[in-house]
Amino acid sequence: MLDYISVLDAVGLPGLRVVLSPGFPGPWSVAAKMILDLKGIRYLPVAQSIACEDKVLREWTGQESAPVAMLDGERGRSRWDEILLLAERLQPQPSLIPEGARMRWEVSGLSSAICGEDGLGWNFRLYKMAAWEDALAGKSSEPVFLSREQVDVMQFRYGDPSRSAAGAKSRMIAILELLAEQLHENRRKGSPYLIGDRLTAADIYWTSFSNLVAPMRHEHCPMPDAYRAMGEAMHADLGDTIDRILIEHRDAVLDRHISLPLQF
């Protein structure tokens, strides 16, 4: 585990402080950490409690989730694209955003499909919240690592699962198919990456979010048993819709570009 400091201790410190969730490989946080580490950007990790009210964190950052990057006296950056652009500014190389306008747009579009509202991670949480409701009510054996209060917080942030769960799975499948099609097309062009001929942010985001539908090997990403079981259950639920090329790509990015094992 990273050497975390508390929110109270972080508030008055200078430099880059990044709020993360200790002990859990939350995909947005893992992606932010991968990007910063890949660029060699030093930061202080700040501990956040998952899906809990935290008045000090809200007063400091304007919200209560992770990740959020706080640089000196600048505004907090909590969206995936804000953190990426901050990292590019602090350390331009290696760049994870192509210079060409078309490829830059393609990276942004694929990354949004993974990280953004109504994206892969968003719909995963909508879909799982419906299952968590049944588990908390004793109606299923679905693995759940959140309390009743934490699930309520998640519903407030992501929406009522009873209205959205039906379409969430189909949306996830569509995004996975899109990513697989892109990888197959680019592989035919001789590249192992999603876009162009080098690593971009889109590769990092898929690698981070892949845990939700196909957990990484333990030696790559040790995680709580309940968290792994959640991803394994999703993998079984999605079945053949997860093209093998997606897992091959994820493992190749980990082996070539990421310091392992992951710490969080």
The pLDDT, as a whole number, for residue 160 is 60
DSSP codes of every residue in 172-203: HHHHHHHHHHHHHHHHHTT-SSSSTTS--HHH
The pLDDT, as a whole number, for residue 139 is 73
The pLDDT, as a whole number, for residue 51 is 65
What's the rounded Cα separation, in Å, for the pair 185 and 168? 26
Highest mean pLDDT among 51-55, 157-161, 259-263: 259-263
The pLDDT, as a whole number, for residue 128 is 82
Above 90 in pLDDT, residue 135? no
The pLDDT, as a whole number, for residue 167 is 86
What pLDDT, in 10s, does the model give residues 198-244? Answer: 999 999 999 999 999 999 999 999 999 988 998 999 999 998 889 99
The pLDDT, as a whole number, for residue 198 is 97
Q: What is the dihedral of CA 9, 264, 62, 203, to 10 degrees?
A: 140
More confident residue, 139 or 212: 212
Closest CA to 213 of 246, 164, 256: 246
What pLDDT, in 10s, does the model give residues 19-77? Answer: 999 998 999 999 999 999 999 999 999 999 876 778 999 999 998 889 999 999 999 99
Q: Which amino acid is at 20?
A: L
Do residues 129 and 161 lie in contact, with contact meaning Cβ atoms separated by under 8 Å? yes
Tokens 């639920």 belong to residue: 237
Q: Which amino acid is at 30?
A: V
pTM score, two decimals? 0.91
Query: Is the bond leading into 94 cis (omega within 30 degrees of zero)?
Result: yes
> For 123-142, what is the mean pLDDT?
77
Do residues 57 and 8 lie in contact, with contact meaning Cβ atoms separated by under 8 Å? no
What pLDDT, in 10s, does the model give residues 76-124? Answer: 999 999 999 999 999 999 999 999 999 999 999 999 999 999 999 999 9
What pLDDT, in 10s, does the model give residues 160-201? Answer: 655 567 788 999 999 999 999 999 999 999 999 999 999 999
Above 70 in pLDDT, residue 10? yes
Tokens 């189909």 belong to residue: 170
Per-residue DSSP letter, 63: S
